[in-house]
Amino acid sequence: MALERPWTMTLAIALTLMGSDARGAQCRRQLTLAGIERAIDLGAEFLARNQKKEGNFVYGYDWHARVMARGDSVVRQAGATWSLGLLVRTGEPSLGPPLERALRFFAKHGGQVDGRRFVRYPGDEIGSTGAVALLALAHLEHVLALRASGASTETVRWSRSMLDGYLAQLVASRQKAGGFASRYVHTDGRPLGPPSPYYDGESLLALVKVARYLGRRDLLPLALAEAESGYRRHVVQPRLKEPDPKTTKGYYQWHSMALWELTTWSATSSEADWGERLIELATWMLRAHRVLQRRRNTAYAFEGIVPAYAIAHQRGDARAAELACAIEEGLGKLSSWQVGSPTANATIRSHKPDERAMGGVQNHAREPLLRVDVTQHQMHALVLARRLYLPTLSP
């Protein structure tokens, strides 16, 4: 807590100098490095503790009633797997075995046809392209973490082979008019169904990141074409009809993360003003979607807002002040929804958690359901804040 006062002063001075358009927001300093790292550690432990022996995860847990929630989602299961990969690569090596267990679970429950790999999740009758994209992202993080640690060539080769198979499925799912078929047939992976803003964004992010970090330049033309096509289809056209379309909200954080990659990669930074799109979309999320006034967990939004802040700050854009205030207010509030957090709200503090609940994040300030995807999104938002936000506010 010793850092809190100078960080507060630094933020206040920064906002004054930048001429904030923060619309009256009071930027009380809430986020600290120690607090973020503690929250990430708690969330990582929650994900590992709620992994089943088969490798997938307990989807939801009511920690007041101490019962497992019904239902499941292959996309959210794949998202939790990606989260483990991100955490392993950014400083949580103890999650390496749970990550590999999850990846091998999906490898076991999958198929391969003509080099395309896809998932056959138990209990599902049809496949989800979003899950394939998220598993591609998970294997990317796995490969990068393995290389950094000097792991065996055989393990790296296996994960890279899985990644290439999932990417082949994504490429085969791309439609002529843009976007990706949202579903596929379980038997042979044949793509079907119209595009989905969520899955289009997830697929775009996978293509961009693999092209950048593994040198798959053959994917770059498709990624650039889809970045333009998806922006037009899920952002420009829907917002001509209404100010706050659900389509744009669904596409938002995935497209924003891809825009950050395109903005900061020398191979693509001059293709278009990706950074302006990123910043404008973040201000839309605050002003039109009014994410700070939402009553449910909105950590997903900060997966786009934090990268937007980083680019705005780098450019000296006055909108950085508004985004900084949003990060402080939004992630500060959501951190109080984590079970076991030192800053947990009164409702959480009034109940004694069991071991399974520790580190889980609620979807509402007063509702006890802990979902694996809610925790996953919040951990990733905090990882981004630690990497892209805190270093800009030197004590």
Per-residue pLDDT of 329-350, as tens digits, reads 999 999 999 999 999 999 999 9
Tokens matching residue 106: 């999906």
Three-state SS across 77-98?
HHHHHHHHHHHHHCCCHHHHHH
Tokens matching residue 182: 């949202």
The DSSP bridge pattern shows strands 126-128 and 183-185 to be antiparallel
Query: What does the pLDDT read at residue 54?
Result: 98
d(CA 390, CA 395): 10
60: helix, strand or coil: strand
d(CA 124, CA 118): 13
Give the torsion through C-alpha atoms of 263, 264, 267, 268, to 10 deg.
-10
The DSSP bridge pattern shows strands 367-371 and 60-62 to be antiparallel
The one-letter code for the residue type at 234 is: H
Which CATH architecture describes the domain 4-392? Alpha/alpha barrel (1.50)
Whether residue 127 contacts residue 183, with contact meaning beta carbons closer than 8 Å, is answered with yes
> DSSP labels for 294-352?
-SB--HHHHHHHHHHHHHHHHHT-THHHHHHHHHHHHHHHHHTTBTT-TT--HHHHTS-
* pTM of the complete model: 0.93
Query: What does the pLDDT read at residue 385?
Result: 98
Degrees to nearest 5, angle at CA 77 with 121 and 192: 50
Q: What is the residue extent of each domain of the chain?
A: 4-392
Query: What does the pLDDT read at residue 152?
Result: 78
Query: What does the pLDDT read at residue 61?
Result: 98
For the chain, residues with pLDDT lower than 50 are: 1-25
d(CA 95, CA 45): 9
Q: How far is CA 287 from the centre of its chain?
A: 21
- First vs last Cα of the chain: how many Å apart? 13
- Burial label, 390 (beta-carbon count in 10 A; 0-12, 13-18, 19+): middle
DSSP state of 174: B
> How many CA atoms within 13 Å lie on the side-chain side of 165?
21
> DSSP labels for 341-384?
-TT--HHHHTS---GGGTT-BEEETTEEEEEHHHHHHHHHHHHH
